[in-house]
Amino acid sequence: MDERTRADVERAEAAIVEHYPRLVRLTYLVLPPSMGRHRRVLTAHGLVQRALPRTRLRRPDGGLPAQRGPAPESGYDLVRQRALRLALAYEAQPGRVLPALPLVWGLRLFPRAGGADELALDQALSAVPAAVRAALGLGHLEGLDEDAARAVLARAGAEDPDAAQRAAAQLDRETEAGAAALLGSGEFDPCMVQTRPTDLLRRRQRVRAVAAVAAVLVIGAAVAAAWPGTADPSGRAGTAAQQALDPDRLLRTPNEQWADTSRVDFTAWPVRGRQAGDRKLLARALRVWAAPPPDTRITAAAGTSTRPPGHPPQLLYAGLIDNVMVVVLYDGERLVRYAEPEDATPTLHFARVDNADLTTGAALVIGRGNGWMRYLLAPWISEITTRDLLAPAAPPHGLHVAPDGVTDRIPIPPPAGAGCGRWPVAQLRPSTRIVAAAPDTAFLVADLDDLVPVHLTSGAPLSGGAPEGATGAPALRNWARTACSLGSLRGTGVRSVNTWEFARQQLPEDGGSAAWVCTRADTWRGPGSVTLRFLPPAARPADPGRTAGRAVNTAACSRFGPDVVGGIHWQAKSGKWYLLAAGSPEVGGLDATGGVRATADEGTLATPAEPAAPAEVVGRLRTGGSVRALHP
């Protein structure tokens, strides 16, 4: 029994009051994520409140004076040690009951959900022991050095503090977004919580008398047995909404249908995964989709509905991915990825995929982690390799694929603000059973934090379809200089991105040849955006050049509006400034007005101009129309 003098207890009580949020955050981090977020919040608060030691009985008058010893332990150190000891004990005894206080009826409490980085860190923390989580918290939340953290862990009862610190350091290195910043976010703050009601219907049902419910069931069964003809003559069991939640009604495509159909999209995907026959798992996934619990993490690409299923969806996958149970469903318009991690907090990810085809329906993201992801490949993909868009001359690397279509881990592009030293993409090759064997049948896809990767293409917009793939040497060189701009498209529901070199221009004063490139991003919901870039000669293959123009909700650089003009101020090696402009092939002349006046009877223009001189550039089309230059 840890009993202290009254002075010790008063110092401990003051420390709890003053540092309560800090103590609860640390305790919440150490508790097992498998408890679920609601129970973790209440337990963290309860353990910190129980960390107050008991008061030692007073010595009777006339006793010996107290012996001199070390300085008294600080109140904060004392309650932190006790709270850590209680939290570490929960992992060794998972059946321990919730502390009596605080007590919450009719509500569920959970911290504010973070982004993909916080979710990835939470999943990584669920896979390590409590002592490792404690070591990470002592270092980042408490600011202790290695020796001090090791001493705190030892006093709190950790079995091997050194091993815990080594594992925490390794986890910290693998967290690209930075564990310190993520642990300080709202995802790991049990004092800033959101509230939602518990299952209201279930709560109402529980207050009914058990005898009355049993009687109703017995009477109902008797009536059904006496009048069997009252069954639904159509043979339908319940409404369409009820049928949509029945795992036995899930649609399942035969394994080889993809090779014998003219519709090569997600409807042709067969069901895969070892848990495809787990009726309980499938039922949970459907129930969460139809009525998400309050603490469910829900992510939806821009323009994607999260409404419940209106009819039985198609099952694409059900299995265990990196210790997370995953179910993927398709309702003809959307993909829904249900994930059930060890902490029992479900996640739903929605993505719109209507009108998918051989390339945009070739893969989906089946799992994510710190700095990596995995694809589930379409059955018609015969080969997958990976390459770095910023290294166009480097050969692709082979990637292993499991028999169920799940790939090995693939590195993901760096997060925003972390630089752009690499940009991994996947190169897919379709089976010769549906596409003739040819070198140009391979295509590139890139992960932009959505459920479905983005198809990367290159070339002029075609009147009858999409541009070609981006695996040729010229296309890869252009993509090397524009790849880093893909980061701005993360999570926006982009279907495909095309880069088109619409003009070449010889620079003044023997400055070499520059390329004008239009990068167009098309979304699943329809609208597209474009970015014009001016790419002068560069010493590095991945030099990004300069942005010359932008536009949103535009048809520019598409088959519905292929004409485009760009302009920019450029400085020659002599120090002299010029206005440069260029148009797409159908632009037969250019006119500059405003602060700069010049004209050209061809698709490019170069004229001396001060860098601050405003200019409006208009292109004259060969068909007699005109097109204005896009502005940055």
Q: Give the pLDDT of residue 542.
A: 82
Bridge-based pairing of strands 587-594 and 615-621 is: antiparallel
Q: Give the pLDDT confidence of 541-567 residue by residue, as tens digits.
A: 888 889 999 999 998 999 888 899 999
Same-domain pairing of 543 and 423: yes
Question: Amino acid identity, residue 453?
Answer: P
The confidence band for 237, taking pLDDT boundaries of 50, 70 and 90, is very low
Spatial contact of 463 and 444, defined as CB atoms under 8 Å apart: no
Q: Give the pLDDT of residue 342.
A: 73
* pLDDT surpassing 60 at residue 578: yes
CA–CA dist 471, 456 (Å, integer): 9
Question: Amino acid identity, residue 527?
Answer: P
Range in 55-69, 160-174, 342-356, 515-529 the model is least confident about: 55-69
* pLDDT surpassing 80 at residue 432: yes
Determine, yes or no, domain membership for 627: no
277-to-248, 315, 325, 338, 627 alpha-carbon distances in Å: 10, 11, 13, 16, 58
Among 319, 352, 385, give the residue marking a domain's end: 352
Determine, yes or no, domain membership for 224: no
CA–CA dist 231, 612 (Å, integer): 81
Same-domain pairing of 348 and 473: no
Half-sphere exposure (Cβ direction) of 491: Cα atoms closer than 13 Å: 7
Same-domain pairing of 509 and 375: yes
Range with top average pLDDT, 11-15, 64-68, 212-216: 11-15
- Please tell me the pTM assigned to this model: 0.64
Q: Give the pLDDT confidence of 296-310 residue by residue, as tens digits.
A: 899 998 888 999 998
Determine, yes or no, domain membership for 481: yes
Range in 49-58, 262-271, 436-445 the model is least confident about: 49-58
Same-domain pairing of 333 and 381: no
CA–CA dist 195, 164 (Å, integer): 34
Same-domain pairing of 374 and 485: yes
Determine, yes or no, domain membership for 495: yes
Same-domain pairing of 306 and 275: yes
Same-domain pairing of 477 and 410: yes
In DSSP terms, 328 is beta-bridged to 317, 337
Determine, yes or no, domain membership for 357: no
Same-domain pairing of 548 and 409: yes
Spatial contact of 420 and 333, defined as CB atoms under 8 Å apart: no
Region 427-454 average pLDDT: 85
* pLDDT surpassing 70 at residue 9: yes
Determine, yes or no, domain membership for 570: no
Same-domain pairing of 453 and 397: yes
Q: Give the pLDDT of residue 70.
A: 39
More confident site: 318 or 415: 318
Determine, yes or no, domain membership for 242: no
Phi-psi region at 355: left, alpha or beta (left = phi > 0; alpha = psi -120 to 50): left
Among 293, 321, 352, give the residue marking a domain's end: 352
For 180, the enclosing helix (H) or strand (E) is helix 179-183
Q: Give the pLDDT of residue 93.
A: 65
Region 226-232 average pLDDT: 40
Number of neighbours of residue 309 by Cβ within 10 angstroms? 19
Straight-line distance from the first to the last Cα atom of the chain, in angstroms, rounded to the nearest whole number? 70
Range in 238-247, 420-429, 604-613 the model is least confident about: 238-247
* pLDDT surpassing 70 at residue 100: no
Determine, yes or no, domain membership for 620: no
Same-domain pairing of 393 and 469: yes
In DSSP terms, 297 is beta-bridged to 347
Region 190-201 average pLDDT: 68
Instruction: Kindly state the percentage of the chain with pLDDT values over 90.
Output: 45
Among 313, 332, 352, give the residue marking a domain's end: 352
The domain tally of the chain equals 3
Range in 33-42, 198-207, 541-550 the model is least confident about: 198-207
Residue range of the domain that includes 267: 247-352
Q: Give the pLDDT of residue 249.
A: 94
Kindly provide the b/e burial profile for residues 426-439, where b requires at least 16 CB atoms within 10 angstroms of the residue's own CB: bbbbbbeebeeeee
- Which residue matches tokens 């590195």? 411
Same-domain pairing of 367 and 263: no
Region 66-74 average pLDDT: 44
CA–CA dist 91, 126 (Å, integer): 11
Same-domain pairing of 311 and 180: no
Q: Give the pLDDT confidence of 147-165 residue by residue, as tens digits.
A: 889 999 999 888 888 888 8
Spatial contact of 82 and 107, defined as CB atoms under 8 Å apart: no
Q: Give the pLDDT confidence of 112-149 residue by residue, as tens digits.
A: 766 667 777 877 887 788 898 999 989 988 889 888 89
More confident site: 92 or 134: 134
Range in 72-86, 146-160, 317-331, 477-491 the model is least confident about: 72-86
For 453, the enclosing helix (H) or strand (E) is none
Helix (H, G, I), strand (E, B) or coil at 600: strand
Bridge-based pairing of strands 3-4 and 54-55 is: parallel
Q: Give the pLDDT of residue 387.
A: 95
* pLDDT surpassing 80 at residue 210: no
Number of neighbours of residue 269 by Cβ within 10 angstroms? 25
Q: Give the pLDDT confidence of 584-602 residue by residue, as tens digits.
A: 999 999 999 999 999 999 9
